[in-house]
Amino acid sequence: MKALVKEAAGPGFVLKNVPVPTIRDDEVLIKVRRAGVCGTDVHIYEWDDWARGRVKPPIVVGHEFAGDVVEGRCLLCRTGNAHVCPFTRIIGVDRDGCFAEYIAMPAVNVWHLDANVSYDIGGIHDPMGNAFHTALTADIPGSTVLVTGCGPIGIFAVGICKAAGASRIIASDVNDRRLALARSMGAHDVVHPGEAEAAVKAVTDGLGVDVVLEMSGVPSAIHQAFALVRVGGRVQMLGIPAKPMEVNFATEVIFKGITIYGVVGRRMYDTWHQMTRFLRSGEFDPTPVITHRFPLEQADEAMHVIKSGEAGKVIFEIA
Amino acid sequence: MKALVKEAAGPGFVLKNVPVPTIRDDEVLIKVRRAGVCGTDVHIYEWDDWARGRVKPPIVVGHEFAGDVVEGRCLLCRTGNAHVCPFTRIIGVDRDGCFAEYIAMPAVNVWHLDANVSYDIGGIHDPMGNAFHTALTADIPGSTVLVTGCGPIGIFAVGICKAAGASRIIASDVNDRRLALARSMGAHDVVHPGEAEAAVKAVTDGLGVDVVLEMSGVPSAIHQAFALVRVGGRVQMLGIPAKPMEVNFATEVIFKGITIYGVVGRRMYDTWHQMTRFLRSGEFDPTPVITHRFPLEQADEAMHVIKSGEAGKVIFEIA
Amino acid sequence: MKALVKEAAGPGFVLKNVPVPTIRDDEVLIKVRRAGVCGTDVHIYEWDDWARGRVKPPIVVGHEFAGDVVEGRCLLCRTGNAHVCPFTRIIGVDRDGCFAEYIAMPAVNVWHLDANVSYDIGGIHDPMGNAFHTALTADIPGSTVLVTGCGPIGIFAVGICKAAGASRIIASDVNDRRLALARSMGAHDVVHPGEAEAAVKAVTDGLGVDVVLEMSGVPSAIHQAFALVRVGGRVQMLGIPAKPMEVNFATEVIFKGITIYGVVGRRMYDTWHQMTRFLRSGEFDPTPVITHRFPLEQADEAMHVIKSGEAGKVIFEIA
Amino acid sequence: MKALVKEAAGPGFVLKNVPVPTIRDDEVLIKVRRAGVCGTDVHIYEWDDWARGRVKPPIVVGHEFAGDVVEGRCLLCRTGNAHVCPFTRIIGVDRDGCFAEYIAMPAVNVWHLDANVSYDIGGIHDPMGNAFHTALTADIPGSTVLVTGCGPIGIFAVGICKAAGASRIIASDVNDRRLALARSMGAHDVVHPGEAEAAVKAVTDGLGVDVVLEMSGVPSAIHQAFALVRVGGRVQMLGIPAKPMEVNFATEVIFKGITIYGVVGRRMYDTWHQMTRFLRSGEFDPTPVITHRFPLEQADEAMHVIKSGEAGKVIFEIA
């Protein structure tokens, strides 16, 4: 094919025949139709100081273009649907998962852990990520926070709010073991749902909390979230209600001027980066949330203890 | 290796020996150390309605884990430096570029164009992306905007501000052809630098503009940006000054309470998505900015016209 | 009382007896307990260039302090409740309103209109403010927008989205006159509610719109808002449902990762400032929305036409 | 004058003659020209449940209007310049200040302190406000932060970053007493300027800190801020350089893609509210920063100790 080539260290380009590129598994071959000429190309053409220090001839030049994909092994890219690709192959759901001695992962999905982060903590980055995303997409420093529901993600969220400077954290759950874990992660007040309103009113001049993290999915907790958040506050909804429920949007949402954020998953690299920084600071330690450990051989026992409602986070020790 | 497998459509998991996974070019092999057990795993274990509709046995289960990378062909991932990878292999600078009939591209970098977007417009997505990122990381709807410097990216930015509802756009340049292009893209006022202050004062009650897009890199234009932005306003700096210059941070920046944003590149997919939406609306048409077209054979002419300072955007027509 | 006084143009302060200050209606008298000394005080003490140009002796110095309010005519301030004051005395609801030849207003609430803004447009700044706040607290430039409900505020919002660079605006209502107004304000598509889904799918690759402005308060429209906003999109709720309704938070909100914002009122000065800028640009003209004008003598007729559902905005012409 | 009046508890309005309103010192009299009719007016007209519970007849109705200011004692409002008023009369600079036994203050400026906030802490809300505004307009939770300059505001900022969950705080100053104060407020590392680069590199994998708070105004510290902030990071500039300095915008700002925010003052009520929440949480205690206390009689001593560079915050004890 024809190509404009920077052949050697000196001014100018040469138009010459070169082989059509071969592609790797993760590349596509594109027939170029139009290409823009940028000031950067002029620098390379002129062979100025910057070009001399950066470009290694021989090389085909140009970086602005449009064309047709003529060969590519990735179906999604050929159909212009690359953007939905990440959502369709969840490990352990849609492709082989990690309850095994080895797993193959796309390199781009690997997140490198600091040397001092244990495998235990590494192994729970996924649910901690949900907790970080839920907490830190609200404005936590200085805020008063109500956490309704103290399963593992709710308890992580308590610790994150504590490390991020929440001025008051009220954690609510029906289970006293979980409340004890929430207390150990930094909750100032731990209450049963029936006591939440009084606790919130007492520490917010009766105005309600700045932020509610709704981690239970229980309808009465969702109504409590709307009732106990202050005017103009924010409700983060992570807990998933099992079925439709009745809501008074006028009094529960609109007249209060609140924002509701439906939390699904987490931001890929932004959230991992946030977690890494919190773990480094030493002010957030999720270790107490891990209450049970099993080998793969005891999968049934692991399922059983989760279903009992008494567990914090349960993990497999594999190697 | 050992793995916990969902073998068939029904409750439970089976621990069994399966082959260690083979990996593709873009994957790594990980020795799993710890794995968290999630409510999702319980759903799959129980084989409830959701699991029945989503999971296709046989499959290894589990999706929360940490471990060691034991095999992987990507150096950057092995060293935990994947995040800097995108910056190191620019096409046409660090690897073969697009001034050629064909180019090999990582599939993940491909952006699918709408059927009605011409190759001409497709070919200039890169510099338009700079313009979109520069303009739309400021708050443009309703704002008064000064654009200092009307090279191709500055002119694109004028058109973007127009489409995004800027209430007044003043474009400044030394070259009348470029000012005419800026006018055709929607600038309300086109001025030479010496007239910019009077033009800004006249349309802002003497207060200064809400936003300055500094696209020239000329020191006098940078001082003008600081002088003509209003108190609390925003200066986006894309133009690159050739050398250090003197600045009075007290009077030009701090006492004015302004924000300065240094623009380098653009956000990968967010910016492409924004551009696609603007192109679809039909209210932003960059076509007039393309002033010259050449075949690859006339590379020297293309370089010449850019260096003359009289051109808008210059492109190669390749196929 | 004792006070530290800058008596004359020169270095130093003098401690001397001066009269206790008298206060105006909108001031309070404070007994000072502690006062911080700032670098600014040092400048004044030293009588440097800055101080010489700014300070006019004789003057009591100091600006950081805490103390006790000993006299003040404003009840709210004396009880520490100044922050709730703005919400409690709405004109025409809690104190005398504007359907009259004259009205007394707190000076601080006055917003000065540009000379070329008509009284007609000035008179409807309040509901336009709701529309601006509803539209522009979402990210409109380049976005696809569905407006459900084309009463006056909905129609204003259509025009604002148009001026702010929405790439596609679909307006939905049951009333054809209102749809015609929405079309004249810039809606690309005007549809009856039963046609909204098809219209949205057709222009968004089936993904749903980036933003829904829910201006009707009708339960079926609210469900449509959740159904037709894209994953990760935003629903602004201004319309007020008359009673509770059933919602499936799991499928309508959480799995879609959307944000819901309950809109009540508008930001005082920020919103007025935005409106002023849009009116100046000439790209937003709300005039067509005013469909009926009456003298005060025809108040009954004004009420009647609003209740008929056929009116855009109705105004009184008073002087 | 004519006015539309809700005379009694029941449906309808009555047009009747009522006295022209008298105005207070802080009010203006407006001749009404146009008034919009809102759904709220219809509710009051109809005398529905909401109106019955809220409106107390007799009252003139209407709340959307435009007209002419015909009488008003406030010069700024008469000239449409109310928005610049707050900046022109600083206490202790432009009008009598607080180094005195009593001070008259506009009631609207009063911020009510919690009962458990001491006069000492109350008296330094002004400079603490600068520190809060400087720190919390950046994203602090989890961030690495470099504070260059440990005068009182810099030291406050260290404590605020600590309470807000910064993962690592490096404080830099030439004075060891100030560094000791910074350490006591929570800095993880305290260094002399010549050691700052090594300290930053050591704790950020060599990438630089997420945020720099530049509190010194010293040119070498400003260059250090640009050099030691990471790519895409944020520099908050509060310290005021005494004169112009040379900057390389290309390498120090643009290629790094950083944001610079010039800090002047603080947000009036938002910042006070933030401070109140942090003080309530007990995790931010500014008391150690107050190093010297004087009666008004020792003003010269107060000036002297500040100029020595050895003091933290200096206050007057007045009553």
Reported as a pLDDT band with limits 50, 70 and 90, residue A73 is: very low
Distance separating alpha carbons of residues D152 and D289, to the nearest angstrom: 7
Instruction: Please give the residue of chain D at the shortest CA–CA distance from C93.
Output: D55
Predicted local confidence at residue B74, as pLDDT: 45
The minimal CB distance from A97 to the residues B54, B61, B67 is found for B61
Predicted local confidence at residue A78, as pLDDT: 40
Residue D93 CB neighbours (<10 A)? 21
Distance separating alpha carbons of residues A277 and D144, to the nearest angstrom: 8
Q: What's the pTM value of the predicted model, to 2 decimals?
A: 0.81
For the residues C171-182, what does the mean pLDDT come to?
95
Predicted local confidence at residue C43, as pLDDT: 85
Predicted local confidence at residue D143, as pLDDT: 93
What's the half-sphere exposure (Cβ side, CA atoms, 13 Å) at B269? 9
Predicted local confidence at residue C90, as pLDDT: 67
Give CA separation, D242 vs B3, B247, B251, D245, in Å.
68, 12, 10, 9
Between chain B and chain C, the number of residue pairs with CB atoms below 8 A apart is 65
ipTM of the shown complex: 0.80
Closest CA to D59 of C141, A134, C98: C98
The more confident residue out of C191 and B304 is C191
3-state DSSP assignment of residue A10? coil
Interface test with D, best of B133, B249, B267 (most D CBs within 10 A): B249
Active site residues of D: 40, 43
The minimal CB distance from A3 to the residues B91, B101, B121 is found for B101
Terminal alpha carbon distance of chain D: 52
**Which residues in chain B touch residue C164, judged by CB atoms under 8 angstroms apart?**
141-142, 164-165
Residue B29 CB neighbours (<10 A)? 18
In this structure, what token pair is assigned to residue A132? 């970080």
The minimal CB distance from A60 to the residues B41, B56, B97 is found for B97
Interface test with B, best of A28, A69, A103 (most B CBs within 10 A): A103
Indicate if the pLDDT at residue A312 is higher than 50: yes
Predicted local confidence at residue B264, as pLDDT: 80
Predicted local confidence at residue D61, as pLDDT: 85
Chains with ≥3 CB–CB distances under 8 Å to B: A, C, D
Indicate if the pLDDT at residue A9 is higher than 50: yes
- For chain B, give the percent of residues with pLDDT over 90: 41
**Which residues in chain C touch residue D62, judged by CB atoms under 8 angstroms apart?**
91-92, 97-100, 316
Residue B40 annotated as catalytic: yes
Taking an 8 Å cut-off on Cβ atoms, the answer to whether D123 and C1 are in contact is no
Closest CA to A110 of B86, B61, B21, B78: B78
Taking an 8 Å cut-off on Cβ atoms, the answer to whether C264 and A250 are in contact is no
Q: Is the peptide bond before D58 cis (omega within 30 degrees of 0)?
A: yes
Taking an 8 Å cut-off on Cβ atoms, the answer to whether C281 and B142 are in contact is yes
Indicate if the pLDDT at residue B81 is higher than 60: no
User: Which residues are CB-contacts of D142 (< 8 A; sequence separation ≥ 6)?
Assistant: A136, A163, A164, A274, A277, A278, A281, D165, D166, D167
The minimal CB distance from A240 to the residues C240, C246, C254 is found for C254
Residue A292 annotated as catalytic: no
CB C200 within 8 A of CB C221: no
Residue with tokens 């809300």: D125
Say how many residues make up chain B.
Answer: 319
Indicate if the pLDDT at residue B111 is higher than 50: yes
Instruction: Please give the residue of chain D at the shortest CA–CA distance from C95.
Output: D59
Reported as a pLDDT band with limits 50, 70 and 90, residue A231 is: confident
3-state helix, strand, coil in chain C (%, to 5): 40, 25, 35
Instruction: Please give the biggest Cα pair distance in chain B.
Output: 80
Among A11-20, B92-101, B258-267, C209-218, name the one with the lowest average pLDDT: B92-101
Among B107-116, C214-223, C303-312, name the one with the lowest average pLDDT: B107-116
> With a cut of 50, which residues of chain D have pLDDT below it?
73-87
The catalytic position among C22, C43, C291, C304 is C43
Closest CA to D251 of D284, D229, D274, D273: D229
The more confident residue out of C153 and C307 is C153
Reported as a pLDDT band with limits 50, 70 and 90, residue B87 is: very low
For the residues A129-148, what does the mean pLDDT come to?
94
Closest CA to A108 of A252, A251, A220, A269: A269
Taking an 8 Å cut-off on Cβ atoms, the answer to whether C245 and A247 are in contact is yes
- For chain C, give the percent of residues with pLDDT over 70: 89
Q: Is the peptide bond before B58 cis (omega within 30 degrees of 0)?
A: yes
Taking an 8 Å cut-off on Cβ atoms, the answer to whether B104 and A21 are in contact is yes
**Which residues in chain D touch residue C48, judged by CB atoms under 8 angstroms apart?**
none
Bin B207: left if φ > 0, else alpha if -120 < ψ < 50, else beta.
alpha
Predicted local confidence at residue A54, as pLDDT: 81
Predicted local confidence at residue D163, as pLDDT: 92
Predicted local confidence at residue A267, as pLDDT: 67
Indicate if the pLDDT at residue C38 is higher than 60: yes
Closest CA to A66 of B98, B232, C173: B98
Reported as a pLDDT band with limits 50, 70 and 90, residue C24 is: low
Indicate if the pLDDT at residue B55 is higher than 90: no
The model's pLDDT over B237-257, given as tens digits with 9 standing for 90+, comes to: 999 998 999 999 999 999 888
Indicate if the pLDDT at residue C160 is higher than 90: yes
Residue with tokens 């190509």: A3
Taking an 8 Å cut-off on Cβ atoms, the answer to whether C141 and B280 are in contact is no
Measured over the CA atoms of residue C84, residue C86, residue C90 and residue C96, the dihedral's sign is: positive
Among B109-113, C178-182, D72-76, name the one with the lowest average pLDDT: D72-76
- For chain A, give the percent of residues with pLDDT over 90: 41
**Which residues in chain C touch residue D108, judged by CB atoms under 8 angstroms apart?**
26, 77, 82, 108
- For chain C, give the percent of residues with pLDDT over 90: 41
Mean pLDDT of chain C: 85
Reported as a pLDDT band with limits 50, 70 and 90, residue A234 is: very high
